[in-house]
Structure 1
Amino acid sequence: MMHIRRSEARGFADHGWLKSQHSFSFADYHDPQRMGWGNLRVINEDRIAPGMGFGEHGHKDMEIISYVLQGNLAHKDSMGNVKGIPPGDVQRMSAGQGVRHSEFNHAPDQTTHFLQIWIEPNVRGIAPGYEQKTFADAEKQGQLRLVAAPDGASGAVTIHADAALYAGLLNEGDVVNLPLDPSRKAYVHLVRGALSVNGEALKAGDAVALAHEPLLKLDAADQAEVLVFDLAA
């Protein structure tokens, strides 16, 4: 089973300093048919205006991943982490028992464009944690690079969730296959470019939710950047 979620069908919020597209129900955007997929709860495509950002706020019991596409995301949290997140880095914050943080774009003339991803944990009440790693383009070129996994396999960031996240950079004509466990779910989010997923054409911002599928086939029609989630059902 495959369900296509077109970019223009996503929820949209314009706060002036922040423009956000929501793949699933979030804040004032509510769709009872789109409360998440498996244990994937949030994919927000956020654009933060120069000199603006999210003030300090709190989270509990959620695995939060930031994936920056343009600019730099300045992170500060109650664990003492003060970091800049550039494109190519994957940041994981485990909210656990509770954490407070802020995210800002300090650039005077550039928008920060990033994906905010929430995955429901398989353990609750743990101590909050933070991890950030750089994944060079060469590691993702023409293939799917594991960037987040429960056991930190292959140098991925470690998430406390029954899920895995892959990132890929494909050129026109590249074909990538990923075997899937039909008892689990998968989700493909096309960050930019154009490709087909099991024969279904996608453009930037489109996504495909998959269930009971044994194989994922990505066929790039243009230069493409893609995220693939392997998820608990």
Structure 2
Amino acid sequence: MATMYTETVTTVRHWTDRLFSFTATRNPGFRFISGQFTMIGLTINGKPLLRAYSVCSAHHEDHLEFFSIKVPNGPLTQHLQKIQVGDELLVGAKPTGTLIQQNLKPGKTLYLLSTGTGLAPFVSIAKDPETYDLYDHIVLAHGCREIAELGYGEEVVNKLYNDEFFGELAREKLLYYPTVTREPFRHNGRLTALFEAGKLEADLGLPALNKETDRVMLCGSPAMLSDLQTMLERRGFAEGSHHERGEYVIEKAFVEK
């Protein structure tokens, strides 16, 4: 088995009946780049049960944070959603993933487009000071079905805006755009539809999406990824990878956990 760290759960918070977040200790030897994921899990019936999870914590923080959906019969999440402070968590020692700055060409505005728990890697990126050195604006867009599902992201952004050291920079450059599809809210609609209509950019006072200046990261449901990828490529955006930088990157590693 690949090298694993055994960490201790330090906090657990249930946001809705479908979503929860938790933190754990971090081995000093665990290194990652903002936006990467790693394998995490539990020992079930004497065997490790692991799935890929993006790291929400900043690379400079001394703890690890994760954001998860609750799948009633999910092989891992049916157990993971019951964890408590003090429980042991297995963490893979080799993070990876495509949602990193090294895979994008330089640009002026970075769009972080997510649905559901696809927000997770972008939390880490939004906490990284280097992100703000690279771009004039960082747009953190999060699409959910219901307002309650935005709770985790809203708290993350509020903490960034009010951070003693980081707050001024975040308030200047980080543009948060939450949207829901099943309840009245200040922003309504799917991210794809909002982009197709030019509404998301207009609401934020930004020019229309442009491959010369804008860079995009995608993480979320398969339908959202497919629709936005089609839209981006129709507008001339090229996908970036570890081999060649592009105008957008997409994380394909996640399936039902």
Q: TM-score, normalised by structure 2?
A: 0.28
Which has the larger helix fraction? 2
Q: TM-score, normalised by structure 1?
A: 0.30
Greater gyration radius? 2
Which has the larger strand fraction? 1
